[in-house]
A and B are shown apart, each in its own frame.
Chain A
Amino acid sequence: MLANNTGGENNMPLSVNITLNGQSVSDAVNITRGSFSLTASFNTPSKGITAIYGPSGSGKTTLLRAVAGLEQGVTGWITLDGKPWLSEELSVPTHQRGVGYVFQRSHLFTHLSVKNNLLYGQKRTPKDQRKIAFEEAVSLLGVDLLIDQPVDSLSGGQRQRVAIARTLLASPKLLLMDEPLAALDHQSKSEILPYLEQLHQSLSIPILYVSHATDEIARLADHIVLMKDGNTYKHGPLLETVSDIDTPLAEQADAFSILEGEVNNGTEGLVSKDELDNLIRIIDVEGHIFRIPTTMLTTNPVVRIRILAKDVSLCLDRPLRTSILNVLPVMIVEIKDQPQTGQCIIKLALGSQFVLARISLFSKQHLGLRVGDAVFAQVKAVALVR
């Protein structure tokens, strides 16, 4: 069973197929839930961030704890780089898995200094397995100046950065992050996000990132695992998976799509001086131009924009004289009615990428929309997420 499922694929180092029945303690609020069952099955690529996304109570934290070996009664198998962590015959204890875990709250050791917190995992990692130097981790997370401070004098954001550095110094083979930003205020969040993005680029290990914030996922993730009611029901590359309209995700009020493009600096005469003066950035998605009002400056060669389905409306003719900045020629690929809300979700092709639109069933009938039709998508709001 083990051999069949791992298949020796080098690009799929983490392979999980587990079930768990019984009592579960929620990490965030310490409530014992009556009975809870978890069924999870997915693979991740060897590098990059795999987001685990689902509504609260869907078992994301329990899944992460099960992968780390912190939950009792998990059955099935987990392999990392072909090495079994859990199978019918064995269950490797947490401290031997080489798994890094960043919790929602930092869980720093309250009886130790910041420095000794940072060293705790490194000391327990054999010298020849250390992948990151103390100074490197400390400067990567910007905690150089905090080292001599007592743990309880740190702010929430600082504590979380220390916790991340502490985890990295143990040189994990797999990094688990459980809503590392959820307990932080907006300012601390924006303080940590750049560090997370850097991690993403500098670490060559898989990262599982639990979140229910779509903006974090849109910004950080490469892959996504979707969860609901304790089950993983779909996993795959991020852009492709979120634009799949056959999932519960597409039924949610905040269904969204993500597009990738390049920043256009206006060299081709597409951008007028007016636009630049009014803080409009131009993003080129396969030849289609998005104008985004934002103060965010990005140096990424490839940028991502996120569009909520409810912010997209459809027109049969190109609307003229409109305040909507972005009107794009698209083709209807798929329509899914959602009769319980009187709406439908429509998957639109823009080049080789997809945009989701949510409109009323009435409008769909009124306009006579069908798969294959060429229409214009009016996009009311676009967020530049990366």
Chain B
Amino acid sequence: MLDDASITALLLTLKLALLSTSILLVLGTPFAWWLTRTQWRGKSVLEALVALPIVLPPTVLGFYLLVAFGPDGPVGILLSTFGMKTLNFTFTGLVIGSVIYSLPFVVQPLQHAFSQTDNRQLDAAATLGASPWDRFFTIVIPQAKVGYLTACVLGFAHTLGEFGVVLMIGGNIPNETRVVSIAIYDHVESMEYSQAHTLAATLLCVSFVMLLITYVSKQYWGRK
């Protein structure tokens, strides 16, 4: 049913989504915690910046990334001083783009979950001998499990559906930057509707099943 090119595109998309989500969880956890706890006045500016990808057309984000990664852009210049090539039209570039593009979908649920942390339970844990790290890993993170589930699914699903950013900085290189959304677009362009259908339906099912699992688990955990 799926031809080799479609499978390659699907696997590449999964790889991109998994990698981006993992990076987002690792970076997003301390960042969201800091945002929850800080009294810093400039916090709102950062929060607005993080939320930008929600409202911005992805092509705008993609355009600026293209410029930044380009030979005259800040990232491009920085990389060339280390003797590295441009990130445009590479998988690495796509990962970086996805991380920025999906940032709010991971940071916001985590921030919300962390803001529910009961300080008294943290105080109790401290008097029971738990260090700050220990408290974070044994109280804060386990109690934010619904937030983590939401962050994982939204981050993952949002990256799956990425199109505008890829269009700008990724191009259409098989097994490097040709993700499912681009492949579907390609198929439609060349009037290959049945291939487009297959890929689109696959993406639709995967996204729906993931969201369904999330909402069912939320309801279950919420009741417990």
List residues of chain A with CB under 8 Å of any chain B CB: 27, 65, 68-70, 93-101, 103, 105, 107-111, 120-121, 124-125, 150, 163, 166-167, 170, 172, 176
A-B contact pairs, 21 of them (CB 8 A): A68-B126, A70-B127, A93-B126, A93-B131, A95-B131, A96-B129, A98-B129, A100-B127, A101-B123, A108-B121, A109-B124, A109-B125, A111-B142, A121-B128, A124-B129, A124-B134, A163-B124, A170-B127, A170-B128, A170-B129, A176-B127
Q: What chain B residues lie within 8 Å of A109 (beta carbons)?
A: 121, 124-125, 139
* CB closest residue in chain A, given B135: A95
B137 nearest CB across to chain A (Å): 12
* Contact in complex: B120, A167 (CB < 8 Å): no
Q: Which of B123, B125, B143, B145 contacts A120 (CB 8 A)?
A: B125
**Shortest Cβ gap from B102 to chain A (Å):** 27
A126 closest partner in B (C-beta): B129
The distance in angstroms between the C-alpha atoms of A119 and B143, with both chains bound, is 18
Chain B residues within CB distance 8 Å of chain A:
118, 120-121, 123-132, 134, 138-139, 142-143, 145, 224
Q: Which residues of chain B are within 8 angstroms of A93 by Cβ–Cβ distance?
A: 126, 131
Q: Please name all residues of chain B whose beta carbon is closer than 8 Å to the beta carbon of A65 when the two chains form the complex.
A: 123
Q: How far is the CA of A70 from the CA of B143 in the complex (A)?
A: 21
Contacts of B124 in A (CB 8 A): 101, 103, 107-109, 163
Q: Does A103 lie within 8 Å of B129, measured CB to CB?
A: no
Q: Who on chain B is nearest to A176 by CB?
A: B127
Contacts of A170 in B (CB 8 A): 127-129
Could you say which residues of chain A place their CB within 8 Å of the CB of B143? 110-111
Closest to B145 in A: A111
Q: How far apart are B140's CB and chain A's nearest CB, in angstroms?
A: 10
B218 to chain A, nearest CB (A): 15
Q: How far is the CB of B1 from chain A (nearest CB, A)?
A: 44
Q: Of A27, A100, A107, A150, which contacts B118 at CB under 8 A?
A: A107
Task: List the A side residues contacting B138 at CB < 8 Å.
Answer: 120
Which DSSP category, helix, strand, loop or mixed, fits chain A's interface?
loop
Are A107 and B120 within 8 A (Cβ)?
yes
Q: Which residue of B lies closest to A122 (CB)?
A: B128
List residues of chain A with CB within 8 A of the CB of B224. Answer: 150
A105:B130 contact, CB within 8 angstroms: no
Q: Which residues from B are CB-within-8-Å of A107?
A: 118, 120-121, 123-124
A98 and B129 alpha carbons, distance in the complex (Å)? 7
Q: How far is the CA of A170 from the CA of B123 in the complex (A)?
A: 14
Give, as a whole number of angstroms, the nearest-CB distance from B37 to chain A: 13
For A101, give its contact among B127, B131, B132, B134 (CB under 8 Å).
B127
Q: In the complex, are the beta carbons of B123 and A95 less than 8 A apart? A: no
Task: Choose among A105, A111, A172 the residue that contacts B120 (Cβ–Cβ < 8 A).
Answer: A105
Q: Which residue of B lies closest to A119 (CB)?
A: B128
A110 to B125, CA, bound (A): 12
Cα A107 to Cα B125 with chains together (Å) = 9
**Contacts A103-B120, A107-B118, A107-B121: A167 and B142 contacting too (C-beta < 8 A)?**
no
Check B126 against A167 for contact (C-beta < 8 Å): no
- Which of A69, A95, A97, A176 neighbours the largest number of chain B CB atoms within 10 Å of its CB? A95
Specify which chain A residues have a CB less than 8 angstroms from the CB of B121 in the assembled complex: 107-110
Residues of chain A lying within 8 A (CB to CB) of residue B131: 93, 95
A95 to B120, Cβ gap below 8 A?
A: no
